[in-house]
Amino acid sequence: MESSPIDAELTDRAAEVVAELVGAGATLAAAESLTGGQVAAAVTGVPGASRTFVGGVVSYATRVKVDVLGVPSDVVVHHGVVSSPCAEAMAEGVRSLLATTYGVATTGVAGPDEQEGKAAGTVHVAVASPEGVVSRQLALDGGRPEIQRATVEAVLDLLLGILRREEPAVG
């Protein structure tokens, strides 16, 4: 089966991320909810990804976010799992759990139904690094596959922007 141009774009972006990580001697882990492992799949689809990608946690259920990734219960109670504070805690949690330089996270509503009163397309992505954590809220259009794909692209773009701004780790 041939790759679509959209898949090629995502593969190219993942390849850029892997190249930047390898060049910096950095490692990556992913905590995914609505993307269900698609970030990890995009990154590990790149030859040489094993030099930088450590692993991931698909935390579809809230209890996995709390029990495995260490998302504080008060974040879930006060902000919900479809929130920037949850995405940030997921990214920090997977970074700590798998002892990596960077942790990325995706959480949100892929649809078709609302969750926590939030419409399909409401998404939060985050990147945790040695310098802190950055998150973005997205309002995406399309069906479930389009929302998931756009989320993978957004979290890779966020990470790529951080990688290109930061100096490589010394030591």
Condensed to tens digits (0 to 9), the pLDDT of residues 127-165 reads 999 999 999 999 999 999 999 999 999 999 999 999 998
Is the bond preceding 112 in cis, omega lying within 30 degrees of 0? yes
Q: What is the pTM of this model?
A: 0.93
φ/ψ bin of 99: left (φ > 0), alpha (ψ from -120 to 50), beta (otherwise): left
Structure confidence at residue 2 as a pLDDT band (50, 70, 90): very low
Token pair, residue 145, equals 């596959």
Name the CATH architecture for the domain at 5-164: Alpha-Beta Complex (3.90)
**Contact (Cβ atoms closer than 8 angstroms) between residue 129 and residue 162:** yes
pLDDT digits (tens, 9 = 90+) for 86-132: 999 999 999 999 999 999 999 999 999 999 999 999 999 999 999 99
- In the chain, where the domains are located: 5-164
Residues linked to residue 125 through DSSP beta bridges, in sequence order: 106, 136
- 7 band by pLDDT with thresholds 50, 70 and 90: confident
